[in-house]
């Protein structure tokens, strides 16, 4: 009996790791083709470090400076759909547009956006933020006004701090009244790089 | 607690599922069965209850797809009675797994799940829709038959 068990166990250990990886990639390409993938994501290199990008059928839903992949994927699985799959192809356009932006060749991203991760007042603030033109800035107070509540400057600041779509929704173009740079969730150094790139500051 | 992102299932189980399909469906059909398995899993995924045993669920789908693959194949797989006095091949996998495929259905399934998928008996019982004891029995009897073939 032991002989048979050994034979079964050993025979099962054919080295096929690589074939499994390829099979998985081919399968997910087909899955995307069939519309079975609700959220596609990929990691994109940039001058500001590694960016996590995710999109739905509606458009870019998440762009974030990322350290740890697990919490950001878990959040998407929870708040959008558990059908979250890695896909280089689906995020290819986003990657290209970002590359062109950082090379100074592009001022408008022209990407469809999915704002489902921000609702209500936060959503209105961020949609208004998406309309701030390249190289221009507005104040937190202005944003509050655009979102329909002049008195909600701090809330506007919080909305911008929670922006799920960094860079493309340009919360970096929002400064304090009086010109003080204000804050930036990714770290002020990144905000400065972006404002320098857009020639807002030296 | 919600379902994990599907990619994590893919990363964790692609190799064991592939290996399982090589054993149950055969090396030349493993790619197709793999695709069928994970596409079916992805389609059904959002409807899963939280706390489901994802591993057992995935292997149930894989096993079904492997059996479907056998059924839809036109060529005659039966090559006559079990091989006489063959010795189990420990380098490749064809001889012994071919013999497993000729076992009666419950024993075949039990041996596949135990030795190709490495499932614990509790999960095998789940997948077979039987008891832990029945799963063990099926594996025991399957191994006994294999021993007869190879000795």
Averaged pLDDT for residues B58-66: 95
Distance from CA of A15 to the nearest CA of B (A): 9
- Residue B10: its chain A contacts at CB < 8 A? 24, 28, 85
Residue pair B142/B107 in contact by the 8 Å Cβ criterion: yes
Please state, in angstroms and rounded to a whole number, the distance separating the CA atoms of residues B40 and B34: 10
Residue in B93, B106, B98 with CA at minimum distance from that of residue B81:
B98
- What pLDDT sits at residue B42? 98
Quote the minimal CA–CA distance from A190 to chain B in Å: 29
| Mean pLDDT, residues B53-81 taken together | 79
The residue among B87 and A46 whose pLDDT is bigger is A46
Which residues of chain B approach chain A closer than 8 Å at the C-beta?
2-8, 10, 14-15, 17-19, 22-23, 30-31, 34-35, 38-39, 42-43, 45-46, 88-90, 92-93, 96-97, 100, 111, 115-116, 143-144, 146-147, 150
Q: What is the DSSP string of B100-119?
A: HHTS-HHHHHHHIIIIIS--
Q: Which of B92, B116, B56 is nearest to B142 (CA)?
A: B116
Q: Looking at chain A, how many residues does it have?
A: 202
A89, A32 Cβ separation under 8 angstroms? yes
pLDDT score recorded for residue A10: 67
Whether residue A176 lies in the annotated active site: no
CA distance B102 to A143: 72
- Record: contact A31-B38, CB cut-off 8 A: yes
pLDDT tens profile B6-35: 999 999 999 999 989 988 888 889 999 999
Residues of A in contact with B31 (CB under 8 A): 19, 23, 26
Confidence of residue B83 (pLDDT cuts 50, 70, 90): very low
Q: Which residue of A has its CA nearest to B26?
A: A12
Residue whose structure tokens are 């030296």:
A202
The reply to whether A69 touches chain B by the CB within 8 Å rule is no
pLDDT along chain A (202 residues), means of 10: 75 71 95 97 96 98 95 97 97 98 97 95 93 95 84 89 97 91 92 96 88
For residue B92, with 0-12 CB atoms within 10 Å meaning exposed, 13-18 middle and 19 or more buried, which class applies?
Answer: exposed
Which two tokens mark B78? 């039966």
pLDDT range class, residue B90, cuts 50, 70, 90: very low
Please state the ipTM of this predicted complex. 0.88
Query: What DSSP state is assigned to residue B48?
Result: S
- Residue-wise pLDDT for A102-148, tens only, equals 999 999 999 999 999 998 999 999 999 999 999 999 999 888 888 88
Per-residue pLDDT, B94: 62
Chain A to chain B Cβ contacts (< 8 Å) = 124
Min CA distance, A94 vs chain B (Å)? 20
Distance CA A135, CA A141 (A): 19
Strands (E), chain A: 39-46, 49-55, 60-65, 84-86, 138-139, 174-175
């Amino acid at each position: 009996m032991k002989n048979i068990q050994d034979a079964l166990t050993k025979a099962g250990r054919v080295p096929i790791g690589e074939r499994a990886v390829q099979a998985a990639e081919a399968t997910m390409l087909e899955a995307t083709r069939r519309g079975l993938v609700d959220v596609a994501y990929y990691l994109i290199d940039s001058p500001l470090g590694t960016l996590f990008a995710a999109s739905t059928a509606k458009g870019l839903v998440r762009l974030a400076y990322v350290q740890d992949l697990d919490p950001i994927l878990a959040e998407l699985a929870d708040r959008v759909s558990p059908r979250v799959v890695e896909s280089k192809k689906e995020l290819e356009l986003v990657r290209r547009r970002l590359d062109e932006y950082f090379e100074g060749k592009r001022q408008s991203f022209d990407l469809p956006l999915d704002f489902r991760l921000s609702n209500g007042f936060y959503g209105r603030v961020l949609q208004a933020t998406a309309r701030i033109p390249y190289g221009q800035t507005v104040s937190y107070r202005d944003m509050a006004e655009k979102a329909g509540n002049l008195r909600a400057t701090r809330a506007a600041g919080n909305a911008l701090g929670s922006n799920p779509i960094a860079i493309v929704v340009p919360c970096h173009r929002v400064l304090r009244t009086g010109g003080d740079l204000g804050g930036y969730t990714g770290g002020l150094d990144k905000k400065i790089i972006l404002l320098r790139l857009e020639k807002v500051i030296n | 607690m919600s379902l994990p992102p599907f990619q994590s299932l893919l990363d964790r189980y692609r190799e064991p599922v592939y290996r399982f399909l090589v054993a149950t469906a055969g090396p030349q059909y493993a790619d197709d069965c793999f695709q069928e398995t994970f596409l079916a899993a992805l389609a059904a995924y959002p409807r899963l209850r939280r706390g489901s045993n994802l591993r057992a669920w995935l292997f149930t789908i894989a096993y079904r797809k492997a059996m479907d693959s056998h059924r839809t194949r036109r060529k005659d797989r039966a090559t006559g009675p079990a091989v006489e006095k063959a010795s189990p091949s420990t380098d490749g996998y064809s001889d012994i797994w071919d013999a497993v495929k000729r076992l009666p259905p419950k024993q075949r399934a039990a041996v596949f799940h135990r030795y190709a998928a490495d499932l614990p008996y509790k999960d095998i019982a789940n997948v077979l829709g039987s008891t832990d004891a029945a799963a063990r029995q099926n594996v025991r009897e399957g191994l006994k038959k294999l021993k007869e073939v190879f000795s």
